[in-house]
Structure 1
Amino acid sequence: MDKSTLITKLSLKYGFILAAVSIVISLTLYFINPVMLYTNFALPFVILIIFIALLVFVGINIRKEIGGYWTFGEAFKSFLIIALILAFTSVLYNVVLMTLIDPDLPSKAASAIEESQRSMMEKFGMGADQIDEAMAKAGNMQEKLAPTFKNSFTSFGVSLALYGVLSLILAAILKKKEPVTFNTLPEQEA
């Protein structure tokens, strides 16, 4: 099997493993508190850090499995395949969650987000009129969270863009050139 095919195969394998991990984490958090991901501002950053660490781990494993060396292009290709899988499964999971598992989740999450935002604005000393104005500018949260084609497509695009940037960064960090070796002929004895 050539190197490019092996990279693709391993990227698909690890992409689906990371997608499964992502779904397990999301379902676990959902069963703990369905709106936790929408109202806890630190949680998405913690999950992002965990996934960056997992992507680095996966990248190092793929590099080892293909011989210990890969170019920037090969690393980027690998991370991009993984990113496509993660973005697609994330959108698919959210559609299934919000249409089949818990169709009321968009309205529950929207209410929780609005309540959380109001509480935060009150802590900053904003008046009721200012809060109402800010909430009106934010728009209808339930519409933004609903699993419509437009929202799903937008979510996929944003996820892919973020993962794309992350793929560039990780590929630049994890690339490793094969050392140059010189073949020298044995010296002839005089």
Structure 2
Amino acid sequence: MEPQTLKSNTPARAALNAGVIIGLLMLVFNFIVYFIDYSYLVAAWYGIVVLVLFFGLVIYFGIQYRKEIGGYMDFGAAFQFSFVTLIVSGLISTIGNMILYFVIDPGLPEMLVETQLENMVAMLDNFGAGDSISGDQIDEMRNEMANSFTVAGQLKAFGVSIIIYAILALILGAILKKKDKTKDF
């Protein structure tokens, strides 16, 4: 009698593997950008590039998984794959960011806050609203931004991300599902 083994093609197992790969790739990308110029980490274009790359990788690995299981995947399996992938990769990214902020470069959060604040003020100036913001409001924004770079802020952001991941997994699940039309009859 053969020992029972875990099915290697379950959505959760495939998502765990994909999530680790995506999380590590995103972490490497984040560190490369940090070493090039830390200010890019709070640039709007960087956020857009990361989002596109992130979605593209989840879709790529989802399609690979769908091919592995026969070319068809129902919405439930596609949602489960997407959600677990997003959570695992998000957790790896969060841990990597915490290592960057608290071990590798503890001064980085303060520099990112100042850069982010400068970007916001410049954007407000472009819209003609730069003069309407007071020094107290700037200090309040600085404190809120600084709080997001603490351990508690990082964990809170990951908690909020889980809710966002669920919504994104619904969208990705709809993209990745493929119905076997031969079973309709």
**Secondary structure class of the residue paired with 2:38:** coil
Structure 2 partner of 1:90 = 93
- Determine the C-alpha separation between the residues in 1 that align with 2:10 and 2:147: 40
Structure 1 residue 123 and structure 2 residue 126: aligned? yes
Q: Which moves more between the two structures, 50-59 or 114-123?
A: 114-123
Of 62, 65, 71, the match for 2:65? 62
How is 1:1-190 mapped onto 2 (pairs within 5 angstroms)? 6-38=10-42, 40-126=43-129, 128=131, 130-132=133-135, 134-141=137-144, 143-148=146-151, 150-178=152-180, 179-180=182-183
Change (3 A) 1:113 1:181: closer
Deviation at residue 141 of structure 1 after TM alignment = 4.5
Q: Between Structure 1 and Structure 2, how many residues are aligned?
A: 180
- Determine the C-alpha separation between the residues in 2 that align with 1:168 and 1:127: 39
Change (3 A) 1:180 1:128: closer
The answer to whether the Cα contact below 8 Å between 2:79 and 2:169 also exists between their aligned partners in 1 is: yes
The one-letter code sitting in structure 1 at the alignment partner of 2:124 is M
The answer to whether the Cα contact below 8 Å between 2:121 and 2:130 also exists between their aligned partners in 1 is: no
Change (3 A) 1:56 1:127: closer
The answer to whether the Cα contact below 8 Å between 1:11 and 1:82 also exists between their aligned partners in 2 is: yes
**Secondary structure class of the residue paired with 1:69:** coil
Instruction: Please identify the structure whose Cα radius of gyration is greater.
Output: 1
The one-letter code sitting in structure 2 at the alignment partner of 1:165 is I
The one-letter code sitting in structure 2 at the alignment partner of 1:13 is N
The answer to whether the Cα contact below 8 Å between 2:79 and 2:170 also exists between their aligned partners in 1 is: yes
- 1:116-163, Cα deviation, whole Å (9 max, x unpaired): 222222333335453535424535145323332x21221111222222
- Determine the C-alpha separation between the residues in 2 that align with 1:102 and 1:168: 36
The answer to whether the Cα contact below 8 Å between 1:30 and 1:36 also exists between their aligned partners in 2 is: yes
Deviation at residue 79 of structure 1 after TM alignment = 1.0
The one-letter code sitting in structure 1 at the alignment partner of 2:88 is I
- Determine the C-alpha separation between the residues in 2 that align with 1:145 and 1:35: 16
Q: TM-score, normalised by structure 2?
A: 0.86
The answer to whether the Cα contact below 8 Å between 1:107 and 1:142 also exists between their aligned partners in 2 is: no
- Determine the C-alpha separation between the residues in 2 that align with 1:162 and 1:122: 31
Q: Which moves more between the two structures, 81-90 or 5-14?
A: 5-14
The one-letter code sitting in structure 2 at the alignment partner of 1:45 is I
- Determine the C-alpha separation between the residues in 2 that align with 1:173 and 1:142: 34
Task: Give identity over the alignment, percent.
Answer: 32
Deviation at residue 67 of structure 1 after TM alignment = 1.2
- Determine the C-alpha separation between the residues in 2 that align with 1:102 and 1:88: 20
Structure with greater helix share of residues: 2
Deviation at residue 8 of structure 1 after TM alignment = 2.4
